[in-house]
Amino acid sequence: MTETPEQQDPTVYKDVVEFVEKYLSVVYRRQVSDLSDTVWCREWWKHTEAIVRLDAVWRAWEHLRQDGATGMSVWFLDHADKHMAVLLDPKGPFKYCSVRNGHKDMLADLPFTPVPDGMFSNPSDSAPSADGADPAEELDRGARADSVRQ
């Protein structure tokens, strides 16, 4: 039986912003100064990676808080500690930000070369070619041939 939204437990925090401001910033205390090896951006919400990671941490917390036995331990060990280690790392998304000087948007997107059309298409979306060959097999054969030529 599927629960309707009215039957599900409501969240404690209405959104990730409230969670960060009222819970995470209080529970997850760290020295974040220009002299420490831990960085944080007061404007964390200007960093896409931080938004996504903190939203995941909040959603995991909302789910795991309902497990009265080991939920919070699982949340810390499997979610908060891992995401916060990345966010607070001096090489992480807040690298150029500081408590004193504020937000600095100096990190560029990771570079990439566009993927050739059809390289990662869903095999169920492609029909066999006119000669009856499977397009996925043709792609795999082509990739093997390319690696042999190199």
Per-residue pLDDT reduced to its tens digit, 48-69:
999 999 999 999 999 999 999 9
Answering whether pTM is above 0.75, one says no
> Could you give the angle at the alpha carbon of 18 between the alpha carbons of 15 and 19, nearest 5°?
85
Cβ within 8 Å of residue 134, ≥6 positions away: 123, 128
**Partners of residue 98 on adjacent β-strands:** 102
pLDDT score recorded for residue 126 = 59
Name the token pair of 100.
């004193």
pLDDT mean over 16-34: 94
Cβ within 8 Å of residue 17, ≥6 positions away: 45
pLDDT mean over 91-115: 94
pLDDT score recorded for residue 54 = 98
pLDDT score recorded for residue 148 = 44
Task: Say yes or no to pLDDT of 91 above 50.
Answer: yes
pLDDT score recorded for residue 149 = 44
How far from 76 is each of 16, 60, 62, 82, 83, CA to CA, in Å?
17, 10, 13, 8, 10
Task: Say yes or no to pLDDT of 146 above 60.
Answer: no
Distance of CA 15 to the CA centre of its chain: 16
> pLDDT-based confidence at 35, cuts 50/70/90?
confident
> pLDDT-based confidence at 1, cuts 50/70/90?
low
pLDDT mean over 123-128: 65
pLDDT mean over 14-31: 97
Look at residues 49, 48, 47, 60 and name the one whose alpha carbon lies nearest to residue 19.
60
